[in-house]
Chains A and B, each alone.
Chain A
Amino acid sequence: MSFSFARFIPYKLHIQKRTDEVSRWLPLATSVGAIVLAFLISALILLLIGGDPIRTFGYFFNAAFGSWGALSDVVVKATPLLLIGLGCGLAFRMRLWNIGAEGQFYIGAFFASLVPLVPLVNMETTPKFVILLIMGLLGMLGGGLYGLIPGWLKAKFQVSEIISTLMLNYVAVFFNNYWIYSKFSDAGFQMTPMFPKSAWLPRLADYARQVKAFSGITLHLGVVFGLVAAVIIWVIITRSRWGYEINLIGDNPQAARYAGIDISRNIILVFMLSGALAGLAGMSEVSGVVHRLQERISTNYGFSGVIVAWLSKLNPFATILVSFLFGALIVAGREIQPSGLYFFIQGMILFLVISSDVLLHYKIELVRAAPEERK
């Protein structure tokens, strides 16, 4: 394959499929390069609209890593991204495009919130860990059931999961709004009353009396859910029969069908697990950070999670790192103006990373065109 601008420039781009083994550092190098380039392009845009990129990004860096408190904020923001990124990554392995983590997150948060809001158990006498366990399980159930819908529609009616999950995102937000505006509204405000302390995930700040350095540190137990989930997903995809089936369906559905793997069943199961992880992220957010149900409990976590999953090349441990990076982006992003820059950087990173993948599969050279081609 070659592409020629020979008529205008005496050089041409020569793209050739790689036959040699790609060296191991190249994928990492292209990803890092893409991220750096994304920031450079964003800086250029800032410059064009009359901003000061150096000051903005300096501020950016400071807002994310400037202090222990900021760093803890980054991890707090990375937690839902990690859980969602893991779930999306699992689905993407099967080439299932679950773009619905945002909705699954909201429904998970809603289900978990039912425990303190209804209340489903006596919030005074029930031990805290039992309450949190029920909330976590309900969060996963809510997200899982909400993931079941697009999974079932895909398996049964071949409805594009991209569209159905996206549409369900909007539905979930309206559903959530209905409850926080009506039955569970706190005296007419657009939020529920604050949960009792027994429904809060433990935070480092709770131990400030024992360890002075912890005071004001908002890091909560949710991050442990994320890390445990990463290990579990890693075990599933590399060490289990189910993981083998998932990978096979993703790589070669034809072969999987001939091997007698039930694809419909796997679509539904993977969608449910993917949704359950997003639901758990919702629970961790309401129980660990917001402590009530309200509008905008998610700052686009569902969509950022998709990017996180893709950037980590669907590797659960890489997901931990990438979600940390994106957590930093969110923390810094809410401080800087214009606010859209945050979306732009995310889109740019993803765009450049998928573009740079071409370097892994193809050798691109600029060669001098032969004179006869230069007409």
Chain B
Amino acid sequence: MSLEIILRSGLSTGTILLFAAIGEILTELSGVQNLGVEGMMLLGAMAAFKTSLLTGSPWLGLLAGIAAGGLLSLAHALVTIHFQADQVVSGLSLTFLGTGLALVLGEGLSGQNAPLIPNASIPLLSNIPILGRVFFSDLNVLVFLGYLLIPFSWWYINKTRPGMHLRAVGEKPAAADSLGINVYGVRYLYTFIGGCLAGLAGASISIAISPGWYSNLTTSGQGWIAVALVIFAQWNPLRAALGGYLFGMLRRFMLDLQGPMLIFGLRNPFFYNHNLVFFLQMMPFLLTIIALVWGSASARRQRIGAPGALAVPYIRGERR
């Protein structure tokens, strides 16, 4: 068990959560809640893996994964934005649809080896002592993409005009509409982008960070954890990234905890009784709940809430 390995593994697996969570943040900021992240991720993972396998190009696979997540999210957009269906139910059915479609189309993919997105080192940065070795050398290319996405999405949301429009549509759609912002268009766009990022998250599992197709175990609930992360992060990409990385590190730590015979000079219970590992496996999910309790308490203290019009359909000219 070494801190460096835990840290690096956290950066890798955290990247998956980071993509999905930032995507969901963008979607929710526009006032659309899409609970179908798990389904979009799984479909993205399948599409990426299958495309990479068939074409031999992991980059085409990556694109296919992104497109698959985005396309699926459009179904949610249509039903919730135009048909004003309940967003929770639509999101859930999206999870079923995505899962089902991924399992049907992914038949026979398990056990195969597809070409993968490679690891890389950043030329100059990786020479920095210690930090360079931990953060910038021999990590998957997508991890670096994640590094870029964090500041970019924060800047985009908070400092640019389209970002301001995005937040306006999520907070007060009627006011945004009267300023000439196309509320429906904005909601469609960010639901789609959220879907693309969920697809990217899925692809980064199957053809990059923990490669392979293991039917619905490929994502194993990470889509839901990403949704929880959004609430914990209070719709802030920086916090979402931090949460994602921490979560990744915890996962690795729990795995490593099973190895040694002694921990701090004490008999390691997880080594001697392997069944106790089930309790370790519960931890990510319990920690998510604890993070939510803590997150919602601190959100209330700082008066940060969900976007004002989250999960509320907008009907032009109708008073609410």
Contact = CB atoms under 8 A, between A and B. Distances in A.
A163 B224 contact: yes
A345 B93 CA distance: 10
A260 to B, nearest CB: 24
Given A340-B99, A354-B85, A45 B293 contact: no
Contacts of A337: 107
A154 B197 CA distance: 29
Interface stretch (B140-148, B159-167, B198-206, B283-291): B283-291
A186 to B, nearest CB: 14
Contacts of A153: 289, 292-293
Contact of B279 (A174, A306, A343): A174
Given A1-B315, A175-B278, A346-B100, A167 B224 contact: yes
Contacts of B231: 160, 163
Given A97-B88, A340-B100, A346-B100, A162 B35 contact: yes
A163 B100 contact: no
Contacts of A1: 315-317
A178 B269 CA distance: 14
The B contact surface, by secondary structure, is helix
Contacts of B102: 340
Interface residues of A, number: 50
A166 B292 contact: no
Given A1-B316, A157-B297, A163-B231, A170 B96 contact: no
B105 interface: yes
Contacts of B318: 17
B222 to A, nearest CB: 11
Interface residues on B, range: 35 or more
A341 B104 contact: yes
Interface stretch (B76-84, B124-132, B168-176, B258-266): B76-84
A341 B316 CA distance: 38
A135 interface: no
A99 B103 contact: no
The A contact surface, by secondary structure, is helix
Interface in A29-86: 45, 49
B312 interface: no
A167 B286 contact: yes
Contacts of B273: 182
A348 B79 CA distance: 12
A171 to B, nearest CB: 5
Contact of A358 (B39, B84, B215, B293): B84
A347 B300 contact: no
A354 B278 contact: no
Contact of B88 (A159, A162, A341): A162
A225 interface: no
B285 A358 contact: no
Given A167-B288, A181-B278, A354-B89, A157 B95 contact: no
B120 interface: no
The residue in A49, A164, A174, A340 that gathers the most chain B C-beta atoms within 10 A of its C-beta is: A340
Nearest to B315: A1
A341 B99 CA distance: 10
A351 B93 contact: yes
Contacts of B297: 157
A51 to B, nearest CB: 9
A163 B292 contact: yes
A350 interface: yes
Contact of A344 (B83, B90, B101, B225): B101
B92 interface: yes
A373 to B, nearest CB: 17
B285 A99 contact: no
A310 B288 CA distance: 27
Given A45-B104, A159-B296, A340-B103, A350 B289 contact: no
Interface string A341-370: 111111110110011011001000000000
A307 interface: yes
Contacts of B221: 166, 170
A164 B278 contact: no
A338 interface: yes
Contacts of A45: 101, 104
Given A346-B96, A350-B92, A168 B285 contact: yes
B281 to A, nearest CB: 5
Contact of A347 (B84, B94, B228, B289): B94
Contacts of A344: 96-97, 100-101, 103-104
Interface of A: 1, 3, 15, 17, 45, 49, 97, 99, 153, 157-160, 162-164, 166-168, 170-171, 174-175, 177-178, 181-182, 303, 306-307, 310, 337-348, 350-351, 354-355, 357-358, 361
Given A17-B318, A175-B282, 13 more contacts: A49-B105, A160-B292, A163-B227, A166-B224, A167-B288, A171-B286, A174-B282, A178-B275, A340-B102, A340-B106, A342-B100, A344-B101, A354-B93
13 contacts: A159-B289, A162-B35, A163-B231, A167-B224, A303-B96, A307-B92, A307-B93, A341-B100, A347-B39, A351-B90, A354-B90, A355-B85, A357-B83
The 10 A-B residue pairs with the shortest CB-CB distance, nearest first, are: A340-B103, A344-B100, A347-B96, A343-B100, A347-B97, A350-B93, A358-B83, A178-B278, A167-B285, A354-B85
Interface of B: 35, 39, 75, 78-79, 82-86, 88-90, 92-107, 184, 215, 221, 224-225, 227-228, 231, 273, 275-276, 278-279, 281-282, 285-286, 288-289, 292-293, 296-297, 300, 315-318
